[in-house]
Structure 1
């Protein structure tokens, strides 16, 4: 039965692939955080966990919109009114490591990404890094669509702090090692020493040949159908709504705001600024110099 379904979908895909396809896909993003792992050995009460989770909710739960056609797409966060909760400084820091609108053209293999990094705007131009997808036989339904599973290994950008995890993994109270080393309570501990970025992660995607476009949320693409669900480390993106071939289709254009840089140049800028922040923290100098020496 599954084989018949797959053959039918492939035939259906072939028949309509030459047609002009456009639409909007809405994705609900949720990221989980292991608060115990980042407790630095201190026990976090359930009440404290709930308070932290509520304050971080706006950063960990977001809605994104992918506007797509056969060849192009633009992916951006849905604008919402700020509630005023949370730490503004923390929000700015985390926002600096979160991509802005992302444009992809799968025909020309171009990706353009708008980023704001500590108050300065950058326009990152890159090629689409298509993953080596392994297509599986598993299928399920999301809404009215049959989706199929695909997996790939993704190399992680060393500056992607959304992938951060406790260095050496989660430690239990009885673990040896660092717990044997006594630290003076007045010592300044660099938070960056407590975390690490994995070199690679497994990406799991669920795509539907019923919408035969090689598009997907964010930087992801290259499958024989629109990606409706994506799982990357602790983040899950799930499509909640699709509007196909709207009467008034939105024009898909690449973002233009910011200083134009390559991916390599932007990675270097982020790395240098992060290292500067660490040095300022260790030296107890507070904010230090402003970005760009201003």
Structure 2
């Protein structure tokens, strides 16, 4: 039995190192809504409508992504089945506003050359972010769990992030900026000995099958090794080329402009139309 297992492991390593090797991982993502409704007396929304809206927003934040990869390269892109994310609750129409994301975005990474290229949009304007992959200070753990048929190991890293939230108080909108330390937990499997992962996560001694940063959860639901129909893993070419730092500045400026626009209208119209900014 030990000989058979050793032979199987050897064959797996040979497969992953083959020149024509390719794999596909399918991920389901969910994100906690950061939209909260206080006790604003001027709001025309009932409690029932608010609950329905929260439920719809939660559903709209559940998406499917495909990660196509070979030994060194990967492409991460949303699997789009529907059109623009809109919904209706009572008389209120909801439109999701995305800054640096959306269904048209896709991320190419080359872990051997330690670089990435991300094609994305802000309010219809296309950008092509090109930059180096930053090394994450992963803290490895011996803790394990199974995801599907794969044994996964835990790794974490912590960073400080800045959050901007717009709240509605007595009919007036306020923008609050806070800083907090966020710990991200990853579960990776050495059974697929490649340093790939979903979104901007990578750098572990195995494919990352699950990510949780407290707000967003990404879980792999299916892995296909050497699929019969292979997807071309190509680098995006379209859009205004910017660095990540430059893009973040543009993204912040556009976000601030939108918040000020809401502020000048004394907040969001919670009776007829709702425009909600969601990051990512």
TM-score interval w.r.t. the shorter chain? Answer: 0.7 to 0.9
Q: Which residue of the partner structure matches residue 30 of structure 1?
A: 30
Residues 166 and 259, structure 2, Cα contact 8 Å, conserved in 1: no
Instruction: Give runs of aligned pairs for residues 79-118 of structure 1, distance below 5 A.
Output: 79-82=80-83, 85-86=87-88, 90-91=95-96, 93=97, 95-98=98-101, 100-118=105-123
Determine which of 188, 209, 224 is the counterpart of 2:172.
188
CA offsets, 1:39-70, max 9 Å, x none? Answer: 33469987335411332144310011100111
- Give TM-score scaled by structure 2 length: 0.77
Which residue does the alignment assign to 1:131? Answer: 136
Q: Deviations over 1:117-139 (max 9, x none)?
A: 01111111111122111110111
- Which of 38, 42, 45 does residue 40 from structure 1 map onto? 38
Gaps of 5+ in 2: 1-5, 268-280
How many angstroms apart in 1 are the aligned matches of 2:253 and 2:186? 33
In the alignment, is the contact (CA less than 8 A) between 2:86 and 2:95 conserved in 1?
Answer: no
Task: Name the CA shift for 1:97/1:48 in 2 (closer, same or farther; >3 Å).
Answer: farther
Other structure's SS at 1:98 match: strand
Q: Which runs of 5+ in 1 are unaligned?
A: 1-7, 168-182, 287-294
Q: Does the CA contact (< 8 Å) of 2:129 and 2:244 recur in 1? A: yes
Q: CA RMSD in A?
A: 3.2
Q: What is the aligned residue count?
A: 250
Show the counterpart of 1:254.
Answer: 235
Greater helix percent: which structure? 1
Q: Which whole-Å CA distance do the structure 1 matches of 2:50 and 2:262 have between them?
A: 26
Q: 1:45 to 1:228 in 2, by over 3 A?
A: farther
